[in-house]
């Protein structure tokens, strides 16, 4: 038995080292990522799952962490990019089984921010030095294409060169195009699970993985910098599902990948399921870093929620983005996708100071520039990459 474990560990080490070398050699000449992913991905993930208690002792974990750090530094240096997050509506027409703001979740106080309130969040963010903003919301039918485009146009007028990222779910190609033309430049839409079977266990019947994937490809084709992603430890998820997630990401080749642990949310049908594993979340971040070397990967708020130094651990496993909340404190608690979310009562400047300290203490460098993906950045952005 011990021998079998050693063999498995040797196979994982060899996989990690191979991918690390592939990643480093793909970086010369701006190749995006090696187009490979053997079937042993699921075995590698199973190994880490099985031995997750040995995170501090097993050479496989340290090799993975080192590889992820090395690749991250080869692409983006020590920089950790800030994105100011504005959660502008918690109305949602969907009912994802995991989500605390799903339409049927009771007791949620619903709110929408006006364009004026969103502009105030942007101004506050600019004062703090941010050049990159994310507008996130539920799938709220109030925000028609006309309303979204008017809002984006107003923001663009006052903030001509800041990154404007949208995260408002599935919409039509025409809608994505109009919002892009109005000035949005990035879009986050986690795929949640790349397995049809697993996706159907997380969502009601009217939500289809095929639509989600089609949206992601539409967004890419239009020219957005696109973010996909998934939760780790969502109910019924297997190692095979996680391997499919990575395979899908390699195929899609997004500019950003959001990965966080599943955290149960009271009032949802998954409220009694266990929280996703910290170690496996870190493993999936690190595998994403070595398989898709140039992606921007946030160290998520969910990671900070399940461990007091979860976000710092995220950096050491290859993450290089933080997304502090810029929403008015008065609505923070109402955007509760899961229980015990951190920073509910902390104003934007407190989170900025807190994150800056955490980034510096972990040996990294806070970066307040737009933080474009390497294939989208130009010299102006590189020059701007200063502290504030």
Whether the CB-CB separation of 206 and 102 falls below 8 Å is answered with no
Are β-strands 132-137 and 321-322 bridged in parallel, bridged antiparallel, or unpaired? unpaired
Nearest distance from C-beta of residue 10 to ligand 5AD, angstroms: 34
* Side-chain-side CA neighbours of residue 225 (13 Å): 24
Nearer to ligand FES, 35 or 350 (CB): 350
Per the DSSP assignment, residues forming a β-bridge with 261 are 232
* CA-to-CA separations, 324 to 81, 122, 146, 193, 337, in angstroms, rounded: 11, 13, 28, 25, 15
Residue 343 interface partner, choices ligand 5AD, ligand FES, none, CB cut-off 5-8 Å depending on type: ligand FES
Q: What number of chain residues touch ligand FES (CB under 6 A)?
A: 7
Report the alpha-carbon angle 124-125-130, nearest 5.
155
- The pair of three-digit structure tokens given for residue 319, joined into one six-digit string: 């993450």
Nearest distance from C-beta of residue 343 to ligand FES, angstroms: 4
Say whether residue 346 binds ligand FES (CB under 6 A). Answer: yes
Among the listed ranges 168-176, 269-277, 346-354, 376-384, the one in contact with ligand FES (CB under 6 A) is 346-354
Per the DSSP assignment, residues forming a β-bridge with 72 are none
Residue 48 interface partner, choices ligand 5AD, ligand FES, none, CB cut-off 5-8 Å depending on type: none
Residues 6 or more apart in contact with residue 382 via CB below 8 angstroms: none
Nearest distance from C-beta of residue 138 to ligand FES, angstroms: 22
Element (H, E) at 86: strand 84-89
Q: Which of 12, 351, 359, 385 binds ligand FES (CB under 6 A)?
A: 351
Say whether residue 96 binds ligand FES (CB under 6 A). Answer: no
Question: Which spans of this chain sit near ligand 5AD (rule: CB under 6 A)?
Answer: 98-99, 190, 192, 231, 260, 262-263, 265, 302, 337-338
Q: Other C-beta atoms within 10 Å of 308: how many?
A: 9
Residue 190 interface partner, choices ligand 5AD, ligand FES, none, CB cut-off 5-8 Å depending on type: ligand 5AD
Residue 259 interface partner, choices ligand 5AD, ligand FES, none, CB cut-off 5-8 Å depending on type: none
List residues near ligand FES by CB under 6 A: 324, 343, 346, 350-351, 354-355
């Amino acid at each position: 038995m011990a021998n079998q474990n050693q063999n498995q560990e040797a196979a994982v080490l060899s996989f990690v080292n191979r991918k690390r070398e592939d990643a480093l050699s793909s970086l010369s000449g701006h190749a995006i990522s090696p187009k490979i992913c053997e079937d042993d991905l699921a075995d590698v993930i199973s190994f880490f799952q099985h031995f997750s208690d040995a995170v501090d002792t097993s050479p496989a974990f340290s090799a993975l962490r080192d590889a992820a750090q090395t690749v991250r530094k080869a692409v983006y240096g020590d920089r950790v990019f800030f994105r100011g997050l504005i959660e502008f509506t918690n109305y949602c027409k969907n009912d994802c089984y995991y989500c605390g703001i799903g339409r049927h979740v009771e007791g949620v106080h619903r709110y929408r921010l006006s364009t004026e309130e969103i502009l105030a969040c942007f101004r506050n963010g600019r004062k703090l030095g941010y050049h990159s903003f994310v507008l996130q919301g539920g799938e709220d039918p109030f925000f028609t294409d006309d309303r979204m485009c008017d809002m984006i146009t107003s923001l663009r007028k006052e903030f001509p060169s800041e990154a404007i990222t949208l995260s408002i779910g599935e919409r039509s190609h025409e809608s994505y195009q109009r919002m892009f033309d109005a000035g949005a430049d990035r879009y986050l839409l986690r795929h949640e699970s790349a397995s049809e079977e697993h996706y159907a266990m997380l969502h009601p019947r009217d939500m289809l993985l095929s639509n989600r994937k089609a949206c992601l490809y539409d967004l890419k084709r239009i020219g957005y910098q696109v973010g996909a992603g998934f939760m780790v430890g969502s109910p019924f998820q297997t190692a095979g599902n996680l391997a499919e997630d990575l395979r899908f990401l390699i195929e899609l080749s997004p500019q950003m990948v959001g990965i966080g642990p599943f955290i149960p949310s009271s009032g949802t049908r998954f409220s009694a399921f266990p929280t996703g594993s910290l170690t496996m979340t870190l493993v999936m971040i690190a595998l994403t870093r070595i398989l898709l070397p140039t992606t921007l990967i946030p160290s998520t708020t969910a990671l900070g929620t399940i461990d007091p130094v979860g976000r710092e651990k995220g950096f050491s496993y290859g993450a290089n983005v933080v997304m502090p909340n810029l929403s008015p404190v008065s609505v923070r608690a109402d955007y509760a996708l899961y229980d015990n979310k951190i920073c509910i009562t902390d104003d934007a400047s407190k989170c900025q100071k807190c994150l800056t300290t955490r980034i510096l203490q972990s040996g990294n460098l806070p970066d307040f520039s737009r933080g474009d993906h390497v294939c989208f950045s130009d010299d102006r952005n590189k020059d701007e990459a200063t502290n504030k």
